[in-house]
Chain A
Amino acid sequence: MRELLYRLKDRYHFGTPTFQRDDLCFVTVKRSELRAILTELRDVEGFTHLTLLTAVDWIEEQQFQLTYMINNREANLTLALRVMLDREDATGDTIHDLWPTAATYQRELREMFGINFPGSPRVDEEFILEGWTDLPPYRRDFDTLAYSQQTYHDRPGRETHDPKTHMQKVLYADYPKGAK
């Protein structure tokens, strides 16, 4: 893996790679080079499988991070490429022509994060939500607790206990000594 990155690093701009295991590495790449890197990895280096495509909302930095995780079955290597996008604009580049499965991921990202992928098949259709009109629910400025309280009724009488203190009270009522 290291040697693979070493080989590629002259031609592309890589960030500092993070090795979680010897065969699992995360590295940040430039958005303009993503397509070239993915194509080369797929066609030349044997990374034939797109394991997942997901996003992280870095709201403090006003950025979205896309993670393209690809896998080389033969050499048992997994490489994850991170791309940072502007959060305001929230538009990524579709890769459905490299891996057709990416279209489904992109549809999901469109619905859950509001990241658009122009040109991806059926990207504008609803994916799992029906009739959703609010902010995309995985964005961090969407407050799911507030939303659920404004939408669904609570049943009065529901109590929430902190498991640790609750069980301590139930099981060891007089601990520490004299607490009771």
Chain B
Amino acid sequence: MEDVDDKFLKKNKEVPLREELRPRKVTTPDGQEIEIEPLRDYFCEAQPKVHPKAYSKIVEDFYNWARSNSLWILGFGTGCGAIEMRPLMTPRFDAYRYGIQWRPTPRQANLLVISGYLSVKTLKRAIRAYEQMPQPKYVMGLGSCTINGGMYWDSYNTIKRLDDYLPVDLYIAGCMPRPEALLHGFMELKQIIRKGEAEGANKYAENFAQYKANQKAVIKDWDMPDYNW
């Protein structure tokens, strides 16, 4: 939909890096002068790599079958859909019977479910969480908010297309999709993985520069290293 009046132009001011993150010289307790650069010193600089396929198709298929049967979801709820995941984890819908479980930290998970609208502030955390997950990893977008902005299509602070910023393997439509739809989505994702088509993480590694450019265009106070691995 076109805007009715396009007199309004957004400002494109840079946000300065926070004081404590700037490279600078400090004096250590024992009197040495050292240079520090907080955004580089503590983080690995390596970029994400494409995960190579196994040497033969049958082995790769076996891997994919195994991967599809161990989906570990990061318990990170954004937007309204976080509520739909509670009945899924509990006896009412019991997703555990399909071998799907939730973990509290990105290091132990391989499926990131973006469960609704993402404000720019949450997007920053979601990117961080995604990048910290070990490969192979998958992203699922729930609800119309992640697809095209949903009812937040004219909001100044929520993104409209999730796949601009993270590689999405599967969308589930609805506002909000019911837990049954989510279960169906998980089954679908399993099939996609088994077919070897859930290549989101590799896409992310291949188009890393493009994704980063998109992310930095909306997250103005970028205060983390480029890759948080």
Contact = CB atoms under 8 A, between A and B. Distances in A.
Interface of A: 128-135, 137, 141-155, 157-158, 160
7 contacts: A129-B157, A137-B156, A137-B157, A141-B8, A147-B10, A154-B148, A157-B148
Interface in B1-53: 1, 3-15
A143 B8 contact: yes
Contacts of A147: 8, 10, 156
B120 A158 contact: no
A14 B57 CA distance: 83
Contacts of A146: 3, 5-10
Interface stretch (B73-81, B130-138, B214-222): B214-222
A134 B160 contact: no
A134 B14 CA distance: 11
B1 A133 contact: no
A152 B149 contact: yes
B9 A130 contact: no
A112 to B, nearest CB: 11
Contacts, number: 87
Contacts of A132: 220
A158 to B, nearest CB: 5
Given A133-B13, A133-B15, A150-B9, A144 B153 contact: no
Nearest to B159: A152
Contacts of B154: 144-145, 148
Interface of B: 1, 3-15, 120-121, 124, 147-149, 153-161, 164, 217-221
Contact of B153 (A131, A151, A158): A158
Judged by DSSP, the binding face of A is: loop
B156 A130 contact: no
Contacts of B12: 133
Given A144-B155, A146-B5, A151 B148 contact: no
B10 A150 contact: yes
A135 B158 CA distance: 17
Given A131-B221, A152-B161, A158 B5 contact: no
A146 to B, nearest CB: 4
Nearest to A135: B11
Given A149-B3, A151-B218, A152-B149, 7 more contacts: A143-B5, A143-B8, A146-B6, A148-B156, A155-B148, A155-B160, A157-B148
A92 B220 CA distance: 29
Contacts of B217: 151
Contact of A153 (B6, B157, B160, B219): B160
A156 to B, nearest CB: 9
Given A137-B156, A142-B156, A154-B160, A128 B121 contact: yes
